[in-house]
Amino acid sequence: MCLAIPGKIIEIVDAENSIAKVDVGGVRRNINTGMLDDTRVGEYVLIHVGFAMSKIDVHEAEETLRVLKEIGDYQAEFDEFSTSLE
Amino acid sequence: MKFIDEYRQGDIAQKLAEQIAQLATRPLKIMEVCGGHTHTIFKYGIEDLLPENITMIHGPGCPVCVIPLGRVDDAISIAEQPGVIFTTFGDAMRVPGSKTSLLDAKASGADVRMVYSPLDALKIAKKNPERQVVFLALGFETTAPSTAMTILQAAKEGVENFSAFCNHITIVPALKALLDSPDLQLDGFLGPGHVSTVIGTRPYEFVPREYGKPVAVAGFEPLDILQSVYMIVKQVVEGRAEVENQYARCISRDGNRKALEVLFEVFEPRDYFEWRGLGSIAHSGMKLQRKYAAFDAEFKFDVPGLRIADPKACQCGEILKGVKRPWECKVFGTACTPETPIGSCMVSSEGACAAYYNFGRLSKIAERSV
Ligand code: SF4
């Protein structure tokens, strides 16, 4: 019910009424972007019940992935560290 | 799919889980407030990945699960009025009222239709000017702005046969009510991600400040959840309590200004709103402002408006507070199943009981309870 899905804006259909076309994994649909400031083609947005709720910040997304991987890498290092004790 | 697949990598999940296991030196209870998180946790078996001493408590953040019996009865009574087209999200169709559900009402002839968006309900209204079209508006601050935008559009276009039966609720009063409940023992919270696209992370800052509990506002993919659990465990271990934002790719501290503006334009708080299982919570519900009464189904239609006590057998309240686990309810899986739900936690796939039931966690439960 509260789910939302990321989609890419592929066309501004009606700028005045804030309607844009998005692509979600190959499925295309018009959504309402009235809750966001100036959306552009190529941007990713989070879509919930036919409305764009927020833009997806590509930089932050990469940062989260970097941190995720770092936590993992630390584990690899820790493993090596602990085996080298024996 | 972009922004989905990269947060589902199993090898990273494994490593994160190992990190959490190393950090967590004592048993911790962490509540995910949001039903969307409950869904991810079950779908991907995250509880199986986590160390035994971390228990996830599935909170009240499923709007379908907390809608009280009386409001469902009201919705059905509107749907059954002659000439009405009643529209709703699919999840709400099977929610039991005191006697029937919207699905039963549909089977007995009421015109109940499923929609994906409130805008679709408005479209139906424009196509059927001789009928009254009512939208069952429910959900937290995630969904409420969409209802508000739709009402503004109906007002702009003068669509007089459209109205909303408003059951929108707000997350912070519910969190406060939970935190004040004497039987609650929690060590931290996964904050709801999609609600926070609208309200931001700032409204949760009272949780660490006044209750000393850590919060990590989390995204909805498995790695998001694991990373957020990691953040909370780390805070506990380091003796910190603050609000951390794991879902920074979608949310900010201040939320979505435009969405908040339409919320305040269209809605105002109710003095009280009833939550199934949790009782009445002050200022936790939203209603339409008087100036939009023409679009308010509660003004347009006579509704019974009765308060109806939760079924005796149902322990949804204890389950929502994390005091009991679903399998501890006497009717779980016997009288109460997703086909014949007694309580609302069994209805939506985001409800704790349905999640346990559907994803076959019963063997795990049996193991743990011996
Ligand atoms: S099993 Fe059914 S009756 Fe029991 S708490 Fe869950 S939803 Fe309520």
Q: A41 touching B, CB under 8 A?
A: no
Nearest to B149 among A6, A35, A61 (CB): A35
Q: Please provide the average confidence, as pLDDT, over all residues in chain B.
A: 89
Encoded amino acid at B57, one letter: I
To the nearest whole percent, how much of chain B has pLDDT over 70? Answer: 97
Mean pLDDT of B95-106: 90
Atom of ligand 1 nearest to the CA of B316: 5
Would you call B143 and A25 a contact, using CB atoms and an 8 Å cutoff? no
Give residue B143's pLDDT band: very low, low, confident or very high (50, 70, 90).
Answer: very high
pLDDT at B182 over 50: yes
Mean pLDDT of B321-343: 85
pLDDT at A73 over 90: no
> Contacts of residue A63 in chain B, CB cutoff 8 Å?
248
> What is the rounded distance in angstroms from the CA atom of residue B69 to the CA atom of residue B309?
8
pLDDT at B197 over 70: yes
Q: What is the pLDDT of residue B40?
A: 87
Residues in chain A: 86
**Shortest-distance Cα residue to atom 7 of ligand 1:** B343
Ligand 1 center to residue B314 CA distance, Å? 5
Q: Which residues have a Cβ under 8 Å from the Cβ of B38 and sit 6 or more positions away?
A: B32, B58, B59, B61, B62, B350, B351, B352, B355
Q: What is the pLDDT of residue A82?
A: 61
Distance from CA of B266 to the nearest CA of A (A): 14
Longest dimension (CA), chain B: 65
Distance from CA of A12 to the nearest CA of B (A): 18
Q: What is the pLDDT of residue B368?
A: 47
Residue of higher predicted confidence among A61 and B159:
B159
Q: Which residues have a Cβ under 8 Å from the Cβ of A69 and sit 6 or more positions away?
A: B12
Q: What is the pLDDT of residue B69?
A: 87
B61, B217 in Cβ contact below 8 A? no
Q: What is the ipTM of this complex?
A: 0.86
How many angstroms separate the Cα of B325 from the Cα of each of B44, B59, B275?
19, 11, 19
Written as six digits, the tokens of B94 are 């099977």
Q: Which residue range is the domain that position A78 belongs to?
A: 5-84
Would you call A74 and B19 a contact, using CB atoms and an 8 Å cutoff? yes
Mean pLDDT of B129-134: 97
Q: How many domains does chain A have?
A: 1
Separation of CA B195 from chain center? 10
Would you call A51 and B145 a contact, using CB atoms and an 8 Å cutoff? yes
Separation of CA B271 from chain center? 20
In this structure, what CATH number is given to the domain that contains residue A72?
2.30.30.140
Written as six digits, the tokens of B87 are 């529209």
Give residue A2's pLDDT band: very low, low, confident or very high (50, 70, 90).
Answer: low
> What is the rounded distance in angstroms from the CA atom of residue B47 to the CA atom of residue B328?
18
Q: Considering only B129-133, B308-312, B364-368, which range has the smallest mean pLDDT?
A: B364-368
